[in-house]
Chains A and B, each alone.
Chain A
Amino acid sequence: MDLVPRLRRFARSLTRDSADADDLCQSAIERALVARAQYQPGTRLDSWMYRIMRNLWIDTARARTRAGQTFVAEEAGLSVGDAGDRVVEARVELTNVARAMDRLPPEQREAVALVLVEGLAYKEAADVLEIPMGTLTSRLVRGREALMRHLGEAA
């Protein structure tokens, strides 16, 4: 299992700034290691980790209220390595989708992140978020419609 790359991706889809995303990811791993006794064997480790990260993210986002709305400079890490055209394009696209995600309300963003980015089934995503299926699908629909509008504009 290669969880860390996926956890970083999930963090990044929740938090646009890459440094914040890695901080979130690190905190989630630390919390998981501390809380490891609560992990139930036989259940999915990835879902458990997603839930920990999502709960941390909610806490942080609440604490920060809307202070984090400032425009973030393009991430320094992105210029590392030889940036061929394809790489640059991929980075621009990442910035575009991340910005569109950032405009979603948190409850829609987390649903979209789990299903469309992380590829979880509806049931699995609803379990991670601890919400009923109907709530998940309605958030997912609204989130997707908003994303289609935002990304349509950006294109």
Chain B
Amino acid sequence: MTPDPETLMAYADGELDDIAAARVARAIAADPALARQVEAHRALRTRLADGFAPVAAEAVPDRFAALLVRSTNVVSMEERRRARRSWWPITGAIAASLVVGVMTGQMLGRGAAVIDGQAVPVAGGALARALDTQLASAQDGAAVRMIASFRDTGGDYCRVFAAPAASGIACRQDDGWVVRRTAGGAAAQSGAYRQAGSGDAEMLAAAQDMMAGEPLDAAGEVAARSAGWR
């Protein structure tokens, strides 16, 4: 029996059930030409997968980070108004997945030039207040914006923030919000409200690195705040 081209291809891709696969395997054993075709199918799959792999490994361009951070904020404002609408959690899941995707891409594109471990400043003043109280979903016009909140691998709550002068990540510990990472305030743009940009993306990438599981959704943030971020 000679398998048809579709069946041979499905065999090469591991798509056949056991019985059909055994039948094809017998045919292949009897015919080196079929074996070569299976090899060719597998080689092509590898070649295409490897060929396009660099695209997925590239740093995701900032336009996507900006798009998603912006859309997350837009979504969040809607959420505030329509907190009872049933589709909100789905929206949150979509936005979170996409944002995490951006983070991963950014992470691959950057070196290890983070300030982790060099100094551990504790947030004070307005920053500490914003970290304590502000939700990523409700912060129109705030000087310090919260971009994302998550638990790190040690179980501490951490928040990604963006201020006119700098972006950073702060984690709640016994003595307060310890600023774990910062990125310079190069994005302070002539007094204009700071746009989501590469600084934020860099912090989101760092956050992805520190994160255990998914970022908190709006409800998770509220719960964490109620518990004093502990």
Contacts and interface: CB of A to CB of B under 8 A. Distances in A.
Contacts of A148: 40, 44
Interface string B57-91: 11011011001100100010000000000010111
Interface string A65-85: 000000000000000000000
Interface in B37-68: 40-41, 44-45, 47-58, 60-61, 63-64, 67-68
A47 interface: no
Contacts of B98: 3-4, 29
A137 B6 contact: yes
A6 B50 contact: no
Nearest to A101: B48
A22 B63 contact: yes
A30 interface: yes
A101 B44 CA distance: 12
A6 B64 contact: no
Interface residues of A, number: 48
Contacts of B101: 1-7
Interface stretch (B8-16, B175-183, B217-225): B8-16
A27 to B, nearest CB: 10
Interface of A: 1-9, 12-13, 21-22, 25-26, 29-30, 32-33, 36-37, 39, 41, 45, 90-91, 93-94, 96-98, 101, 112, 115-117, 119, 121-122, 137-138, 140-141, 144-145, 147-148, 151
Counting from the closest, the 9 A-B pairs by CB-CB distance are A4-B101, A97-B51, A2-B104, A5-B56, A2-B101, A1-B97, A9-B56, A3-B101, A9-B55
18 contacts: A2-B104, A2-B105, A4-B64, A5-B101, A5-B105, A8-B58, A25-B64, A29-B67, A36-B87, A36-B94, A45-B94, A90-B53, A93-B47, A96-B51, A97-B47, A116-B44, A137-B6, A144-B44
Interface of B: 5-6, 9-10, 13, 15, 40-41, 44-45, 47-58, 60-61, 63-64, 67-68, 71, 75, 87, 89-91, 93-95, 97-98, 100-105
